[in-house]
Structure 1
Amino acid sequence: MTDTLTSRPVTAPGLRRFARRFRANRLALGALIVLVVLVVGAAAAPWIVPYEPDAIDVMNRLSGSTPAHWLGTDSLGRDTFSRLLVAGRVSLFAAAIAVAIAVVVGVPFGLLAGYCGGWVDWLLGRAADVLMTFPAIILAIAIIAATGPGLTNAMIALGIVYSPRLFRVVRSATLAVRAETYVEASVSIGTPASGIIARRVLPNILSPLLVQVSLMLAAALLAEAALSLLGLGVVPPTPSWGNLLGRGFTEIRSTPLLVVWPGLAIAVATLSFNLVGDGLRDSLGRETRKGD
């Protein structure tokens, strides 16, 4: 028998209500605009930077702000503005890939645990609990210590670190949806579990999932910066906001602005991700239903 029950997709009126509520949140809307500017600037960095980010000019090392170098230069005479833009490209990409890995790992297992329950839920839940007993940054450092420093290893480590947290969110939301009448009706008429998960469960847990992903992007950005600051993330000469911050500390007495610019970029991006997450949390929630 085919499943003729009506699912609860995202509807046009629901999307309009969401957009109206999100626009009304000026902080979240402003943060979204800032993120768009950061992402577009980072994506276009290779074409808009005034200097090659690795071009050395020792005659102009540690210069302050000048018409030629808007944000000054570092200890090797490299243009800080150019390196900051390219570093944003690396840091934002690293955070996005780390969260994508967490989604790929955490979401399927969370759906499986929440929908199947029983020993499957117990086994996956205990595995997630074991990973969550370790502080996130310590676990990431341990993974990188075993695999070696570098952008790829840092992204994989952060993805593994954040997947249990995403697993818990998805599992909890799936348990709530699993108890809904329309899911029980689909089960009673013999709809395959894969079809129920794809057509009934997943669309109805998108709200908490999107909120968690936006907040996790901020956490991943901070974690990547911390790892790069410690020399365990992006390996120089490739710039990232984290290793620019670390290199700036070595010259903080003579040129403190070398610390200010990457620190400000990290703070603005992290705050923007958090504000967008708060805006999504306040605006989403009922858009997967046909009405309020």
Structure 2
Amino acid sequence: MNSSHTGSTQSGPAAPKTAATTSGRGSGRETSLHRFTRRFCANRIALAALIVLVLMVLGAIAAPLLAPYSPDAIDVVNRLSGPSMSHWLGTDSLGRDTLSRIIYAGRASLFAATFAVTVAVILGVPSGLVAGYFGGWVDWLLGRTADVLMTFPALILAVAIIASTGPGLIKAMSAIGLVYAPRLFRVVRSAALSVRAETYIEASVSIGTPAVNIIFRRVLPNILSPLLVQISLLLASALLAEAALSLLGLGVIPPTPSWGNMLGRGFPEIRSTPGLVFWPGLAIAIATLSFNLLGDGLRDALGREVRKGD
């Protein structure tokens, strides 16, 4: 009787504890994803910025379906007209519909920013991982190369390349990406140095795990937080750089519209038709602000700091 009663008393509480423990271990990955989603969605400003950027990208992709006119359709009779039922945002000096051109211009502007940052990621991330992991003379050589590239202002280097090779969006944004690469290099190198000192990295090295596997399977996943934040900030900066180059006539070649060259063509008519400058400028401002706010939201959601209530 006593042994039976004692056994039931010991086994009763143990079963729920084991089940809870097993359930907690099995859902660890899902819990991390849920925690990130909850933190990010709790930041209403960052969530709104993400929605705005998604709508901009979708609008650029679906431009032929959304734009009421072709971006190059000329209506001389209604040139430099204000907003009306037929042209909601007015027309430019050639009678082209401003709304249609802004929608189509999102393609060139967003592609330019993405292309420049892609070049920066390809050049900066692998070199930063290698420098942070191996250190020594490899770190010194890559660090000095990054320092040299950072001495060149992005726009000045882009203008110099365009002056020697001719205008073009790909050439201009490649130069921008080349100058942005050292920024990613420094962020990745610093984070990789911190991760390299962790015990699990030393354990992987001690059992003979190849360096390539350690870098891309252990180090890279643990530096995504600062990397994603820096990428979102660089997207905003690259968007402004494209606008500046296109404003000067060195980026997107007309008649292809971009927000930057729309600003350039609208400046001579700013007194009579200020909307030609206001609307593309507003599009640039909204996209740039959204990228920055998204970066802030990612930093908060991916950060490792201890938060109350987590």
* TM-score bracket, shorter-length normalisation: over 0.9
Counterpart CA distance in 1 for 2:200 and 2:164 is 47
Counterpart position of 1:278: 296
Counterpart position of 2:168: 150
Structure 2 gap ranges (5+): 1-27
Asked if 1:214 corresponds to 2:206, the answer is no
Confirm or deny: 8 A CA contact 1:14 1:286 kept in the other structure. Answer: no
**Structure 1 position 152, deviation (Å):** 1.1
Q: What SS does the aligned partner of 2:56 have?
A: helix
Asked if 1:83 corresponds to 2:101, the answer is yes
**Structure 1 position 189, deviation (Å):** 1.3
Q: What SS does the aligned partner of 2:257 have?
A: coil
Counterpart CA distance in 1 for 2:184 and 2:132 is 13
RMSD (Å), alpha carbons: 1.3
**Structure 1 position 146, deviation (Å):** 2.6
1:54-82, Cα deviation, whole Å (9 max, x unpaired): 01111110000010000000000000000
Confirm or deny: 8 A CA contact 1:144 1:157 kept in the other structure. Answer: no
User: In the alignment, which of 248, 268, 271 is matched to residue 253 of structure 1?
Assistant: 271
Confirm or deny: 8 A CA contact 2:162 2:171 kept in the other structure. Answer: yes
Structure 1 runs, 4 residues or longer, greater than 6 Å off: none
Counterpart position of 1:161: 179
Counterpart CA distance in 2 for 1:204 and 1:149 is 40
Counterpart position of 1:191: 209
Please report the TM-score for the alignment, with normalisation by the length of structure 1.
0.93
**Structure 1 position 116, deviation (Å):** 1.1
Which stretch shifts more, 26-35 or 76-85?
Answer: 26-35
Counterpart position of 1:3: none
Q: What SS does the aligned partner of 1:232 have?
A: coil
* Fraction of identical pairs, as percent: 77
Confirm or deny: 8 A CA contact 1:140 1:161 kept in the other structure. Answer: no
Q: What SS does the aligned partner of 1:36 have?
A: helix
Q: Aligned residues, how many? A: 279
Paired AA for residue 81 in structure 1: L
Counterpart CA distance in 2 for 1:77 and 1:152 is 29
**Structure 1 position 11, deviation (Å):** 2.3
Paired AA for residue 126 in structure 2: P
Counterpart CA distance in 2 for 1:145 and 1:175 is 39
Confirm or deny: 8 A CA contact 2:112 2:173 kept in the other structure. Answer: yes
Paired AA for residue 165 in structure 2: T
Please report the TM-score for the alignment, with normalisation by the length of structure 2.
0.88
TM alignment of 1:224-243, pairs within 5 A: 224-243=242-261
Higher helix content, 1 or 2:
2
Counterpart CA distance in 1 for 2:154 and 2:224 is 25
